[in-house]
């Protein structure tokens, strides 16, 4: 790792902010105020953070439940400046020239959700570069793809990701046989530049000459590679300002709020929904990184002090299952402490897809009539629809009306693919002009690939055109509609519905389910057959929507962000060659055919 003029304290790997004032002045060609150790760029995001540091120097910005770190806005900015200045001194003259010319410069950050990630992310923005968050569970070969694809000039790593960062460095150096050849990339360990004490608020300045273009590159979020290798979606810098503040205002975020953050931070929700809108309003972001633990989350809710929680349907499903299988059996007084903890959280947010109605009804009951706020968005579109602070006025299953200032249309009038035109959309796919051009229609609308329906001003999401719309026997069927009904059955814990190729029907409706424990709650089936499942759905689904394939699994695998990856999981669970655990229903027999 490159050395800097800042010395580390061996036990804490922290530096005093006073040492920042004694750094050798290598960058003599920079403007005076931008080279000063306590100067931030002239950009609304930094002016707001500085305002909070002045107004309440001790107000918490970040609480990291894994490391035990709690830091104020003042301390956060001190650490950001320490890391930014150290990074500035280690970059090459060529990179400095690119930054001076406001060219695109990308820096990877390898860290789980936590304080070190926030420091690294903001330090990259303060440098005038764009942050590229990477998953800390990446195989080295896959990580090298992201580094090369983003044209990264450096990498920041957290203390618990340093081994992976070193392995990635070694792999890139040894990869002389790939396009671009061997790559020697700088890596800085974030923890070595954290300060043991904050500076004074009056010592931090905003630059009078160094401003940042809000439309310049601010972040790269890699898309899921559904049609090939993941694409590098470049987010503008207004991702951290206008987009973040608009969502924060929509949710009513203020400086007394605290959100519990359990998402991965290489995901757009992890950064664009759960971090930036809260920091830009002076709120506190509390991180819990690592695997999702429903028992821990319920205990944290019970302990109080939270006002926001953000999850995906799979997380809410597993939290419900934990309640039914564990909390519901507790003595009434103890059970109520958990329920009260959930009710005291002002808003539960849900992204990636709509909640099945039974799941929404469970949480609405637990929370005393407060439904979960269902959000719609994507890596490319960001903000599209709005449900406001209180989702009780939004129809069940709806993502609300189109947000003011956004153009939305459906291909076939009131139903069809959702097309969006917005000032907050991503800028481009990096180094892929063809993919960028193809994702827009002739009128400049972004093709989301999602199918929606409009009822009055409100929109409903029917699913992804590629995986959630099943074409069977001449019918177009929404997999999400079927998932909602199967998920309502008292013995179902999780469900995934996909279309499986079939010579007769084109596609068969296939359901993969996991079951609730048989000794809890209402009478339930312990090993349902496809015939029994269809019987239980007779009053809810038309015959052409009924599943004809069933597989019972222990649990549905998910990504780090809690998504069930249907495109990959469907063929695995329902292979073309068949599988002994797949039950098949045909018109010729009412009994399952294995």
CATH 3.30.300.30 maps onto the chain at: 469-593
Q: Encode pLDDT of 246-283 as tens digits.
A: 999 999 999 999 999 999 999 899 999 999 999 999 99
Nearest-10 Cα torsion for 100, 101, 106, 109: 20
Per-residue pLDDT of the chain (594 residues; tens, 9 = 90+): 333 322 222 223 344 445 554 443 333 333 334 445 689 999 999 999 999 999 988 899 999 999 999 999 999 999 999 999 999 999 999 999 999 999 999 999 999 999 999 999 999 999 999 999 999 988 898 899 999 999 999 999 999 999 999 999 999 988 765 666 778 899 999 999 999 999 999 999 999 888 899 999 999 999 865 556 789 999 999 999 999 999 999 999 999 999 999 999 998 999 999 999 999 999 999 999 988 999 999 999 999 999 999 998 889 989 999 999 999 999 999 999 999 999 999 999 987 666 777 888 999 999 999 999 988 888 899 889 988 777 777 888 888 899 988 999 999 889 999 999 998 899 999 999 999 999 999 999 999 988 899 999 999 988 787 788 888 877 778 888 898 889 888 888 889 999 998 877 788 999 999 998 765 545 567 789 999 999 999 988 888 899 999 999 998 888 766 678 888 888 999 998 789 999 999 875 444 433
For residues 237 and 424, the answer to whether their CB atoms sit within 8 Å is: no
Positive or negative torsion for Cα 444, 450, 451, 454: negative
Burial class (CB in 10 A: 0-12, 13-18, 19+), 424: buried
DSSP 8-state class, residue 201 = G
Q: Which residues contact 301 (CB under 8 A, 6 or more apart)?
A: 260, 309, 338, 341, 342, 344, 345
- Which tokens go with 344? 């005291």
- Which tokens go with 226? 């559904």
Question: Rounded CA gap, 274 and 262, in Å?
Answer: 9
For residues 138 and 163, the answer to whether their CB atoms sit within 8 Å is: no
Q: Are strands 152-157 and 186-189 parallel, antiparallel or unpaired?
A: parallel
Q: Which CATH superfamily hosts domain 41-59+70-240? A: ANL, N-terminal domain (3.40.50.12780)
Positive or negative torsion for Cα 256, 392, 384, 268: positive
Residue given tokens 């036990």 in the structure block: 11
For residues 349 and 273, the answer to whether their CB atoms sit within 8 Å is: yes
CATH 3.40.50.12780 maps onto the chain at: 41-59+70-240
At CA 215, angle to CA 212 and CA 216, rounded to 5?
A: 60
For residues 382 and 424, the answer to whether their CB atoms sit within 8 Å is: yes
CB atoms within 10 A of CB 126: 24
For residues 195 and 14, the answer to whether their CB atoms sit within 8 Å is: yes
At CA 547, angle to CA 543 and CA 553, rounded to 5?
A: 160
Burial class (CB in 10 A: 0-12, 13-18, 19+), 399: buried
Query: 480: alpha, beta or left, given left = phi > 0 and alpha = psi -120 to 50?
Result: alpha
pLDDT at residue 26 in the model? 36
- Taking the whole predicted model, whether its pTM rises above 0.85 is answered as no
Nearest-10 Cα torsion for 139, 265, 345, 247: -150
Q: Encode pLDDT of 382-433 as tens digits.
A: 889 988 777 777 888 888 899 988 999 999 889 999 999 998 899 999 999 9
- Which tokens go with 567? 């495109």
For residues 77 and 84, the answer to whether their CB atoms sit within 8 Å is: no
Task: State the architecture of 469-593 in CATH terms.
Answer: 2-Layer Sandwich (3.30)
Report H helices in 128-156. Answer: 140-149
For residues 119 and 158, the answer to whether their CB atoms sit within 8 Å is: no
For residues 161 and 136, the answer to whether their CB atoms sit within 8 Å is: yes
The length of the chain is 594
Question: Pick from 134, 121, 135, 128: which is nearest to 62 by CA?
Answer: 121
Positive or negative torsion for Cα 138, 143, 145, 149: positive
- Which tokens go with 517? 């424990």
pLDDT at residue 260 in the model? 98
Question: Rounded CA gap, 572 and 58, in Å?
Answer: 52
Phi and psi, residue 30, nearest 5°? -85, 160
For residues 312 and 352, the answer to whether their CB atoms sit within 8 Å is: yes
């Amino acid at each position: 790792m490159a050395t800097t003029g800042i010395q580390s304290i061996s036990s804490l790997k922290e530096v005093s902010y006073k040492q920042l004032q004694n750094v050798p002045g290598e960058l003599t060609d920079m403007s005076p105020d931008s080279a000063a150790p306590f100067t931030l760029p002239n950009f609304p995001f930094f002016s707001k953070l500085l305002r909070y540091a002045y107004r309440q120097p001790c107000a918490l910005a970040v609480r990291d439940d894994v490391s035990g770190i709690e830091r104020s806005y003042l301390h956060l900015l001190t650490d950001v400046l320490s890391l930014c200045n150290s990074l500035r001194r280690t970059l090459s003259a060529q990179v400095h020239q690119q930054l001076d010319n406001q060219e695109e410069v990308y820096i990877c950050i390898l860290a789980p959700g936590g304080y070190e990630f926030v420091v690294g992310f903001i330090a990259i923005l303060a440098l005038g570069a764009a942050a590229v968050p990477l998953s800390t569970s990446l195989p080295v070969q896959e990580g090298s793809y992201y580094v090369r694809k983003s044209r990264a000039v450096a990498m920041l790593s957290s203390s618990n990701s340093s081994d992976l960062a070193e392995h990635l460095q070694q792999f890139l150096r040894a990869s002389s046989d790939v396009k671009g050849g061997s790559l020697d990339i700088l890596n800085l360990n974030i923890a070595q530049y954290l300060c043991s004490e904050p500076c004074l608020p009056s010592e931090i300045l905003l630059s009078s000459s160094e401003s940042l273009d809000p439309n310049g590159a601010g972040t790269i979020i890699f898309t899921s590679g559904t049609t090939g290798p993941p694409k590098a979606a470049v987010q503008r810098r207004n991702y951290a300002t206008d987009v973040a503040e608009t969502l924060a205002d929509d949710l009513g975020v203020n400086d007394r709020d605290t959100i519990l953050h359990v998402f991965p931070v290489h995901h757009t929700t992890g950064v664009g929904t759960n971090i930036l809108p809260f920091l830009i309003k002076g709120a506190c972001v509390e991180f819990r990184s690592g695997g999702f633990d429903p028992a821990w989350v319920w205990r944290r809710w019970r302990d109080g002090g939270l006002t926001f929680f953000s999850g995906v349907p799979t997380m809410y499903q597993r939290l419900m299952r934990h309640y039914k299988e564990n909390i519901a059996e507790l003595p009434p007084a103890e059970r109520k402490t958990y329920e009260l903890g959930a009710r005291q959280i002002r808003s539960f947010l849900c992204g990636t897809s709509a909640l099945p109605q039974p799941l929404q009804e469970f949480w609405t009951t637990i929370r005393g009539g407060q439904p979960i706020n269902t959000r719609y968005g994507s890596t490319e579109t960001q903000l599209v629809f709005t449900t406001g602070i209180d989702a009780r006025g939004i129809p069940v299953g709806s993502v609300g009306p189109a947000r003011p200032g956004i153009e939305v249309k459906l291909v076939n009038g009131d139903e069809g693919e959702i097309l969006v035109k917005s000032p907050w959309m991503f800028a481009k796919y990096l180094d892929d002009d063809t993919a960028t051009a193809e994702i827009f229609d002739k009128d400049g609308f972004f093709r989301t690939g999602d199918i929606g329906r409009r009822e009055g001003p409100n929109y409903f999401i029917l699913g992804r055109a590629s995986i959630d719309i099943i074409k069977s026997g001449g019918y177009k069927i929404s997999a999400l509609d079927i998932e909602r009904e199967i998920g309502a059955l008292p013995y179902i814990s999780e469900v995934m519905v996909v279309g499986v190729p079939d010579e007769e029907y084109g596609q068969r409706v296939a359901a993969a389910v996991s079951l609730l424990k048989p000794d809890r709650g209402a009478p339930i089936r312990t090993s349902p057959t496809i015939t029994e499942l269809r019987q239980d759905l007779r009053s809810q689904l038309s015959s052409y929507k009924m599943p004809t394939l069933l597989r019972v699994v222990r649990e549905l695998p998910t990504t780090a962000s809690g998504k069930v990856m249907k495109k990959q999981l469907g063929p695995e669970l329902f292979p073309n060659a068949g599988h002994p655990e797949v039950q098949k229903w045909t018109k010729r027999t009412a009994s399952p055919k294995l």
